[in-house]
Copies of this chain bind each other. A is one copy, B any other.
Amino acid sequence: VNAEIVAVGSELLTPFRQDTNSLFLTDELNQLGVEVHFKDVVGDNREDLIRVARAALGRSEIVIFMGGLGPTEDDLTRECVAETLGVELRRDPEIIAALYKRFAARRIKMAENNSRQADVLPGATVLPNANGSAPGQWLETDYEGKARVIMLLPGPPHELKALFESQCVERLRAKLPPLFIAKRVLKVAMMPESECDARIAPIYTKYPQVQTTILASRAGEVQVHLQARAESTAEAQRQVDELATKLEDELDQRVFSSTGESLEQIVGYYLEMRGATLAVAESCTGGLLSQRITSVAGSSRYFLGGVVVYSNELKSSLADVPAQLIAEHGAVSREVALALADGIRRRCSATLGVGITGIAGPGGGTPEKPVGLVYVAVADGHNPEVVERRYPGDRERIRWWASQQALDMLRLKLI
């Protein structure tokens, strides 16, 4: 079954705004066994909208219009779809009543143009919108002799998502052949996409019934998406799990999550599980590592704190790095990274300490210590570890890679 998604709104044809709803809808439709084969963006223009509606209804079994359902003169979706179908809108008294109620509850007088939101395609089911005033519509109809499902959905993402999930998914499922899908996402740290593919392709190509997609997510993270369709959920799940197990065996410790967690969350889980605490001393990452760790709710249970020490003086006064050591080896060195990690660990009485020092650029590089050179250390009081890396890219990317490296070293230390 094929679907087409039409985003309506002149703001989506500017350099400033982009449709993102279609990614959500595509995911939902795929899970029902529906493929999206066209996406269109069209402005608030009667002629253009009717043109797109005609093309979409001509070629797609399911057509989802998003946006253009508001009260203003620019909101043309309802009337253009009606015109395309050759039908007249009818004004629904129940929606009018609901609108009046909505405005009265807020003690605002309802402007007359709001009643346009009560215009309904003949035969359509009204889909109440819990998060906004414009209701959606669901219509099963014929277009040029072919059966079509048409949905009109509000444009704001939180309205669209809630409405689609609560009122469209089950209606669609009831129309479609029964389908059982299982999914799994393996997240892989610090391995290039091409290497990951080279290692697992010999395995997943033996499982043609499982759809395997490899995606480079952010720098230092690759995701392997597995999806199977079968006659029962159990069978689909069995197929996905069988392949996932083989891929995990092959990728071994490079897989950090197979159930959706982020790297920050995984490090947090391990720390909590081990009753361990963490403190960090950052130079070139400038707080990015702390910020990532504390983006996880509840991180205060294992993250004690950290320091951002740009100057040499602060490396000594806040993380107890001996001034002598900096003078001997330079601030960007293996030795200083280790001293930062152990210094902050002791200073905060933490189980583990992380130290990062490097040159994020664009300035500050030298032939011996070029932009992109980073040292990352983890101290646990027994076996300190430190790695030297040369990261490519700009300041933002170098900083991200360094924080990713630190999280991955923590993960491996805690496994």
Contact = CB atoms under 8 A, between A and B. Distances in A.
A18 interface: yes
Interface stretch (A23-31, A81-89, A186-194, A384-392): A23-31
Interface residues of A, number: 67
A27 B15 contact: yes
A201 to B, nearest CB: 16
Given A13-B26, A295-B395, A308 B286 contact: no
A364 B24 CA distance: 32
Given A294-B308, A310-B294, A15 B20 contact: no
Which secondary structure dominates chain A's binding surface?
mixed
A203 interface: no
Interface stretch (A32-40, A165-173, A249-257, A372-380): A32-40
Copies of this chain present: 2
B215 A16 contact: yes
Contact of A299 (B30, B37, B286): B286
B303 A305 contact: no
A295 B396 contact: yes
A101 interface: no
Contacts of A363: 297-298
Contact of A294 (B27, B39, B45, B286): B286
A222 interface: no
Nearest to A58: B51
B361 A297 contact: yes
Point out which of A35, A59, A294, A304 has the most chain B C-beta atoms below 10 A from its C-beta: A294
A366 B398 CA distance: 40
Point out which of A38, A45, A363 has the most chain B C-beta atoms below 10 A from its C-beta: A38
A291 interface: yes
Nearest to A215: B16
27 contacts: A13-B37, A13-B38, A14-B26, A15-B26, A16-B213, A16-B215, A16-B225, A18-B18, A38-B40, A39-B41, A40-B41, A51-B55, A286-B294, A286-B295, A287-B287, A287-B289, A287-B293, A287-B308, A291-B291, A298-B363, A300-B310, A303-B310, A304-B314, A305-B310, A307-B318, A317-B347, A318-B347
